[in-house]
Structure 1
Amino acid sequence: MAPEDQIILITGASGFLASHVVDYFLRAGYQVRGTVRSSATAEKVRQTFSGYAPQLTLAIVEDVARPGAFDTAVNGVHGVVHTAAPFQVFGVEDNERDLLKPAIDGTLNILKSVREFAPQVKRVVLTSSFAAMFDPTKDKWPGHVYSELDWNPTPYEAAAAEGAPAGLAYSTAKSLAERYAWDFVKSNKVNFDITTIMPPMIYGPNINATADLAKLNTSSMDIYRLMSPQSKSSDPVPENMFWSFVDVRDVAEAHLRAYQVVEAGGERFFICKGNFTYQQFVDALRAHLPDIKARVPIGNPGAGEVPSDVYTIDTSKSQRILGLKYRPLEETIVDAARSLLDLEAMSA
């Protein structure tokens, strides 16, 4: 079936990553039905993709964790890309309520709706995360090579326990949501297969309609703090809390190819460019955006090598099956910064 004859449901369509996923599917010729939480957000998404108005429709799903939330939205679609999930590690009051249940229930809800109301769907692509692979007990894990064979081993009870860090609950939520998805497909008679996409920190340009300097997504804020008007060249370069990264456009392309490539069915894909340090980030910003050098930390230029005791990564599977070619760090960071400068100009 040609792309123009297929409707693809993309959940959470206003998000940082999801906007790029929508963009890739629209440019590939598909009809896209995006889900958003409100009519106001729907209008912003329409404005973002005004050039594709005939291909784009939007459905309001206020709460992805509500039973039956997607029953109507899946009607008549040919494929599903589920990106909608909580990404929050600050201000969490209840790990179970705010992170674990929404992630797990939202994933199971979309699969249940497809099984019951969209028998024509043959593939569901789920946005998982490197958090579903990462073992928090190993820290840098010297000598280890992360790949699709890895799973975060943290149990639900540990993440839901009172006082457990929200970051642990977030990573566990991603791991368990993916595990529950695989178990659902194995345990139920379904007409579709699933493919999961596991990116680490996702950087790159903002194209989402809801982008706002006052409430940037986590990874955009991670870049902006290195170049905001409040920062200066004498500021210290931050220490890494996370080591691996990927460009948002490469992750979006991975979702598209995971839907299109027959051999991708039933597979997990680690989507990652490699490891980084913030010294590499500031070096790229200072080299390619000289107008903002005064507000980008200098640090120790050229000394941004990733420490040898940090785990490494293997993304050969994504390159072999999906045919991905990853963008270099400089392109990712500079394009992210340029989009943030555009937001600055719009809000001035």
Structure 2
Amino acid sequence: MSATEGRRGSIKVVAKSLVNAATGKGKDKTILITGASGFVAAHVLHVFLEAGYKVRGTVRSEESAEAVKKSHSQYGEQLSFAIVPDITAQGAFDEAVKNVDGVVHTASPFVMEVKDNNQDLLAPAVKGTTNILKSLHEKNTRVKRLVLTSSFAAMIDIPKGLRPDHTYTEDDWNPVEKDEARSTENGAVAYCASKTFAERAAYEFVEAAQPKLCVTTLCPPMIYGPNLHTVTDIKKLNTSSADIYRLINGSEKSVPDTSFPAFVDVRDVALAHLRAYESEVAGNQRYFLASSTFTYQQVCDIIRENFPELRNRVPEGTPNAPLPDMFKVDHSKAERDLDIHFRSLKDTIVDTVKNLLELEKQLGVTH
């Protein structure tokens, strides 16, 4: 077995051992996972289900629930659903939170092009987060831990660019102001603002309401890795999968600029959610889940080296070009508290491309 294959199977083994070591933490416990049909959520569902938890996933429709059932069919009655058509509606999660033991909130839009920043990005992110906290405060006070999927977007200072003399840590916060977020025509700025305001809202709610639960926030940058959720159209991949797919489908003729040059593997993100829920030290803590910095040139180099049959579709650029001067990432807190050992860029990209090629075959995509 290769190192990659061994690591690929580690989530299942480590997750189970965690629960066993904790004298059956997962047994008879139900975790609510919002946005269950999403790219990240599919992996989060997987690690919690593998660890022995029952999972209730929120989805927008019965159709979405059926898709998640299909992609996680091996878990049977261990997986159930709550339909939440609009996470911004008052009391949206009141029924969903009843009788659960913990919550993982992943539901938040990841889009860069919207018609209305406030309506399409800021409100869903902030209201979705505060709504679930209000529902817990009013309908289920037995929940002691909520894990929130935030983002490096809530940390990065976009106007300062690559900041070669800076190392990003959990102490960094995106300084964007609300007026700018509402009015900007820069989709990246608006998206980053939505994640910033949602994460701050979570901590502000806990401070103001003093509920008997603590919040743990996780801040991943670009999340790559294989898809576990149901994909029915290669043209409707999630944003980060589409980001890699464009490099192998022939649509990019040159190596693109790297807008957010830090990444993490989706499987490491999923495991971090499980660890953040189970770890005593993770309560009311923030974690930066970054493997390393990267460039699209490195990604193209990895693909061309490991998939020679794709070379006519993958931009060549300047092979082996060194990384430009840029910020550094410090993931030592997550490694220490959550015992996360981050995958390399090569492992992540190779597994991502393998998955995308498998999807092409399944969906009958030809070139």
Alpha-carbon deviation of 1:160? 0.7
Matched, 1:236 2:258: no
Pick the aligned partner of 2:56 from 25, 29, 33: 33
- Structure 2 letter corresponding to 1:81: V
Q: How big is each residue's C-alpha offset from its partner over 1:188-221, in whole Å with a ceiling of 9 and x where there is no partner?
A: 0311000000000001101112463111111111
Read off the aligned partner of 2:39 and give its amino acid letter.
Answer: F
Matched AA of 2:208: S
Query: What's the secondary structure of 2:80's corresponding residue?
Result: strand
Distance 1:136 1:291 in 2: 37
RMSD (Å), alpha carbons = 1.2
The answer on 1:151 being equivalent to 2:169 is no
Looking at structure 1, the residues matched to 308 and 356 of structure 2 have their Cα atoms a distance apart, in angstroms, of: 15
2:196 to 171, 175, 183: 175
1:118 and 2:140 are equivalent in the alignment: yes
Q: In the alignment, is residue 227 of structure 1 matched against residue 248 of structure 2?
A: yes
Match of 2:266 in 1: 248
Aligned residue number for residue 280 of structure 1: 298
For residues 9-48 of structure 1, what are the structure 2 equivalents within 5 Å? 9-48=32-71
Q: Which residue of 2 aligns with 1:297?
A: 315
How many Å apart are 1:229 and its aligned residue?
Answer: 4.7
CA distance in 1: counterparts of 2:51 and 2:118, whole angstroms: 38
2:223 alignment partner, SS class: strand
Q: In structure 2, what is the equivalent of residue 218 of structure 1?
A: 239
Q: Distance in 1 between matches of 2:284 and 2:232?
A: 33
Q: Distance in 2 between matches of 1:167 and 1:263?
A: 33
Deviations 1:92-130, CA, capped at 9 Å, x for gaps: 111111111110000000100111111110100000000
Contact preservation (8 Å) 2:56, 2:79: yes
In structure 2, C-alpha distance between the alignment counterparts of 1:4 and 1:211, rounded to whole Å = 34
Alignment pair present for 1:331 and 2:354 = no
CA distance in 1, matches of 2:207, 2:67: 38
Work out whether 1:205 is the aligned partner of 2:226.
yes
Q: CA deviation at 1:268?
A: 0.2
Q: Does 1:196 align with 2:217?
A: yes
Counting only pairs closer than 5 Å after superposition, residues 90-129 of structure 1 correspond to structure 2 as: 90=113, 92-129=114-151
Query: Partner residue of 1:136?
Result: 158
Task: Summarize the alignment of residues 47-66 of structure 1 with structure 2, pairs less than 5 Å apart.
Answer: 47-66=70-89
Instruction: Measure how far apart 1:294 and its partner are.
Output: 2.1
Q: Percent identity?
A: 50
d(CA) in 2 for partners of 1:168 and 1:236? 25
Is the CA contact 1:212–1:343 (under 8 Å) kept in the aligned structure 2?
Answer: no
- Which residue does the alignment assign to 1:85? 108
Rounded Cα–Cα distance in structure 2 between residues aligned with 1:178 and 1:229: 37
Q: Report the Cα distance in structure 1 between the residues aligned to 2:268 and 2:25, rounded to whole angstroms.
A: 23
Which amino acid is the alignment partner of residue 358 of structure 2? D
Larger mean Cα displacement after TM superposition, 138-147 or 72-81: 138-147
Q: TM-score, normalized by length of structure 2?
A: 0.91
> How far is 1:343 from its partner?
1.3
SS at 2:104 equivalent: strand
SS of the counterpart of 1:137? helix
Cα distance in 2, alignment partners of residues 151 and 2 from structure 1? 34
1:344 maps to which of 323, 340, 360: 360
Matched-pair contact (CA < 8 Å) for 2:288–2:334: yes
Query: Helix, strand or coil: the match of 2:218?
Result: strand
- Secondary structure of the equivalent of 1:246? strand
1:163-197 superposed Cα distances (whole Å, 9 cap, x missing partner): 43222111111101111110100110311000000
1:158 and 1:164 in contact (8 A); partners too: no
**Is the Cα contact below 8 Å between 2:250 and 2:314 reproduced in 1?**
no
With structure 1 as the length reference, what TM-score do the two structures score?
Answer: 0.96
SS in 1 for 2:160: coil
**SS state at 1:202 partner:** strand
Correspondence for 2:99 = 76
Q: How do 1:301-312 and structure 2 match up within 5 A?
A: 301-303=319-321, 305-308=322-325, 310-312=326-328
**2:348 & 2:186 partners in 1: Cα distance?**
30
1:261 pairs, out of 268, 276, 279, with 279
Q: Distance in 2 between matches of 1:131 and 1:176?
A: 10
The number of equivalent residue pairs is 341
Does structure 1 retain, via aligned residues, the 8 Å contact 2:232–2:363?
Answer: no
Residue 5 of structure 1 aligns with an amino acid whose one-letter code is D
Deviation at 1:35, TM superposition (A): 0.6
Runs of 5+ consecutive residues of structure 1 not aligned to the other structure: none
Deviations 1:24-80, CA, capped at 9 Å, x for gaps: 101111000001111011001001111101210011110111110000000000000
